[in-house]
Chain A
Amino acid sequence: MRILIHIIIYLVLIPSKSFGLIEVDITRGNLDPLPIAVSPLSIDENSRQNFEKILKKRNIGEEISKIIEINLKTSGLFNPLNKDAFLQAPDIANLKPRFEDWNLIKAQALITGKVSYIDEKLRVEFRLWDVLAGKEMVALAFTTVPTNWRRVGHIITDKIYQRLTGEKGYFDTRIIYVAEEGPKTKRIKKLAIMDQDGANNKFLTLGNELVLTPRFNPTSQMVTYLSYFRNLPRVYLLDIETGTQEVVGDFPGMTFAPRFSPDGKKIIMSFAKDGNSEIYTMDLENRIVEKITNHPSIDTSPSFSPDGKFICFNSDRSGYQQIYVMKSDGSNVKRISFGKGLYGTPVWSPRGDLIAFTKLHKGKFYIGVMRVDGSGERLLTENFYQEAPSWSPNGRVLIFYRETKTDAKGEGFSAKLWSIDLTGYNERMVKTPTDASDPSWSSLLSN
């Protein structure tokens, strides 16, 4: 699997100076998404035929536009307008939009572009226009191998998102998760990976042994997860490019709840022995293992702050599951969750300012966020069962899993991935071919 594709940005038209151009505010719930027109990327007949032969898609320009449109819509910040209303044909719009026509259908932003087949490569050129100001905001061109067409759509969406919101996007990313099948009492679980929009789903294990909680390395294509290989639950390291895997460390008992440090050089996890779970780190270069916590209670679900200086974790040292923060050497342990109920699965935001968590209160499960000192707790969603939030790389969206209640006969169980905006708006189910749990969001594949 080739991950880092060569996307050559060889034409960069200078973006217009930004004075009074449109901007999307993403800090509050967006109930009024920005109307945007995604004009299908135009394509000449010769290129169209070539791509049809290679990719089995009748019109690759339209397909890429569709990806952009779905991405923008899924973000909840944009409202892609119906193409039937477009007055200007894609080929002309790409050269010089008639802004009055786009204004008439209430588009505030417009995306145009062109796809061509050059030297067996796919070349995509796109422009983002501010309709009201009548100005070009971004213009870029990419050249890559034709099979990377979906990623081009995601990268273009990232550029648009970044230009309009001022923050990096999260569309050229992947999700690793656990695919589930079979009855609840004999569930078969496999590692699976897919693009952020659900495309290119692939299973990474066969389901012969139970696997849980995969997490991406923020800096490479490595994954750490828990496998019950030979009935010994241990933390493993998997290279998803080569498929090679190895046990992490040499522990005389169960290791679990793994996560990478932000620089990708350490794995932090729990090791359980004699009824006591403690947090350890292992350096992946020199293999040095360090014990971080030292307490007879359960200490688990550790997660580093993005600067690597602190760790948040889950402990029942107060009698019940609560969230704690400590320095990365294990000193200065401080409880930060004080609301009603139990708290679990703390995850530090990639922006550093928030910790996402799962909360159980009066028989309901919540996904929420709080500041790193425990103040400002906000519950985003309530359900019968849901847990394990994972942040999008820009810290704007959380993905988690939700399970349904079974009926009196014990039937009707399902597990699905869901995502929600940090503001609590835009809750959506993320489609997967099978039932799914334990999602982990990758970093941006291209920057």
Chain B
Amino acid sequence: MKLNKILRNTLLIVFACFALSACATSKKTSGQMQGDVYTGTDTVEYLASGVPDRVFFATNESVLTTASRETLRKQAAYLRKNSKITIVLEGHADERGTREYNLALGERRANAAKDYLMTYGISSNRISVLSYGKERPVDSGSNPLAWSKNRRSVTVKAN
């Protein structure tokens, strides 16, 4: 009797674990986020064919992901070919942080992109940086996916 109960509880726990992991897996395979970094293309615009205009960040982070670096290398190649173009890097944060810290975080993110572009041969005097903090979200949702789209640095042509 007692053993039965223990067994049943164990089974329940096993089931619960299974349900949880299934849930977690389905989230990851939705193709929209990896960890909490946005990997979709919903909001992405293009500087030129095949050159995405933005990169995305994890919560509270300004580290460039592998995908971000690839995007920035494409941008650098495009900018090297079009040497008259100057750009503004607009750094953004999601709504889950205090306004002032997010302004600093947006600036840090845009600078991470700037530094990378510079290592690929783009002169710093072609790049200016502008942080919007959490003031200009692209997605007004209050959920992890919307927040992931908003944590971004967008490369905008300035001329």
Residues of A within 8 A of B (CB): 183-187, 210, 212-213, 226, 231, 233, 253-254, 256-257, 270, 272, 274-277, 298, 300-301, 314, 316, 320-321, 344-345, 358, 360, 363, 384-385, 387-388, 403, 405-406, 408, 410-411, 413, 437-438
Contacts and interface: CB of A to CB of B under 8 A. Distances in A.
A349 B96 CA distance: 25
> Which among A187, A210, A213, A233 has the greatest number of chain B C-beta atoms within 10 A?
A233
A53 B138 CA distance: 53
B91 to A, nearest CB: 9
Interface stretch (B7-15, B78-86, B98-106): B98-106
Given A300-B101, A385-B95, A388-B99, A277 B107 contact: yes
A277 B110 CA distance: 13
B99 A314 contact: no
Given A210-B135, A233-B130, A275 B101 contact: no
Contacts, number: 105
A270 B100 contact: yes
B68 interface: no
A272 B98 contact: no
Contacts of B62: 275
A233 B97 contact: no
Contacts of A437: 99
22 contacts: A185-B139, A186-B136, A212-B103, A212-B135, A213-B99, A213-B100, A226-B103, A256-B100, A256-B104, A257-B100, A272-B108, A275-B62, A277-B107, A298-B101, A321-B98, A321-B101, A388-B99, A405-B142, A410-B140, A410-B142, A411-B140, A437-B99
B32 interface: no
A212 B99 CA distance: 9
Nearest to A183: B140
Contact of A387 (B99, B107, B111): B99
Interface in B42-74: 60, 62
A438 to B, nearest CB: 7
B131 A254 contact: yes
Contacts of A254: 103, 107, 130-131
B74 to A, nearest CB: 22
B128 to A, nearest CB: 9
A320 B97 CA distance: 12
B111 to A, nearest CB: 3
> Which among B99, B107, B142 has the greatest number of chain A C-beta atoms within 10 A?
B99
Contact of B104 (A298, A345, A385, A411): A298
B126 to A, nearest CB: 16
Given A231-B130, A406-B140, A410-B140, A275 B100 contact: no
Nearest to A302: B100
Contacts of B130: 231, 233, 254
A275 B98 contact: no
